[in-house]
Amino acid sequence: MSERGGNFLKNLLEVKAPFFIFNPKSYLYGQPLEELALEADQMAEKMGVQVFVTAPYADIERLAHKTSHIIVTAQHLDGLEPGRGMGAVLGESIYQAGARATFLNHAEHPLTLTQLVKSIQKTKELGMLSIVCADSVEEARAIATLRPDILLCEETAQIGTGQVSDTSYVHSTIEAIHAIDPEIAVMEAAGIRSAEDVRRVIALGADGTGCTSGITQAEDPASVLRSMIRALKN
């Protein structure tokens, strides 16, 4: 990681609303991912907003070296200590590579309660931000007791469908989470496909939002990414 990037991140490791998370999953890697990460980096600086970009583990260090204003984010982290754990994602390793946040309990990588507790504890030990996913209002309420930094509420059935969460779901999840801990940032992101979707969920009270296929599958991904980040404030 560049000295400039590292110094910036030391002052950035708290959640600042409104924020945006670009989560390309396994759609992008290598040079195409780097190009969009650089677009996100420029927009984060220009708009003065917090932007997270997730990366496959092998690309974390690459993005951390090339960017200065985004939070490079891992797709997962296992709550184990250095030692045994063949095939596991070691927190110390991805932190050293430049990750400063991680997703946990995504619908495509669900965790048991025991695993989730350990992974969140590990992020706190390392000084990383945790972005923990929840499906239902009940699940969001339960996970909120673990005090993650960001709680991502998205109904699993709507992921990637282009169908955004309805107003009642957004309001009920925000209310349930903040009743337990008002310091937890709430992210609503199911079905986000456009800048207008971003404006809508922020207006409904979400602290942040994000997108995957709405960007990666667009004819001009960079343009869509820029418009969504811009929509956080416009």
SS (H, E, C) the chain: CCHHHHHHHHCCCCCCCCEEEECCCCCCCHHHHHHHHHHHHHHHHHHCCEEEEEECHHHHHHHHHHCCCEEEEECCCECCCCCCCCCCCEHHHHHHHCCCEEEECCCCCCCCHHHHHHHHHHHHHHCCEEEEEECCHHHHHHHHCCCCCEEEECCHHHCCCCCCCCHHHHHHHHHHHHHHCCCCEEEECCCCCCHHHHHHHHHCCCCEEEECHHHHCCCCHHHHHHHHHHHCCC
Is the pTM higher than 0.85? The answer reads yes
Is 108 known to be catalytic? Answer: no
What are the angstrom distances between the C-alpha of 221 and each of 22, 33, 67, 217, 228? 11, 11, 18, 7, 11
Per domain, the residue ranges of the chain are: 18-232
Structure confidence by residue, pLDDT tens digits, 34-51: 999 999 999 999 999 999
18-232, CATH topology level: TIM Barrel (3.20.20)
Is 154 known to be catalytic? Answer: yes
* Catalytically annotated residue among 76, 106, 139, 155: 106
* Catalytically annotated residue among 34, 39, 139, 154: 154
What is the pLDDT, as a whole number, of residue 158? 52
Structure confidence by residue, pLDDT tens digits, 65-97: 999 999 999 999 999 999 999 999 999 999 999
pLDDT truncated to tens, each residue of the chain (234 aa)?
Answer: 444 344 345 445 899 999 999 999 999 999 999 999 999 999 999 999 999 999 999 999 999 999 999 999 999 999 999 999 999 999 999 999 999 999 999 999 999 999 999 999 999 999 999 999 998 899 999 999 999 999 999 876 555 545 566 788 899 999 999 999 999 999 998 789 999 999 999 999 999 999 999 999 999 999 999 999 999 997
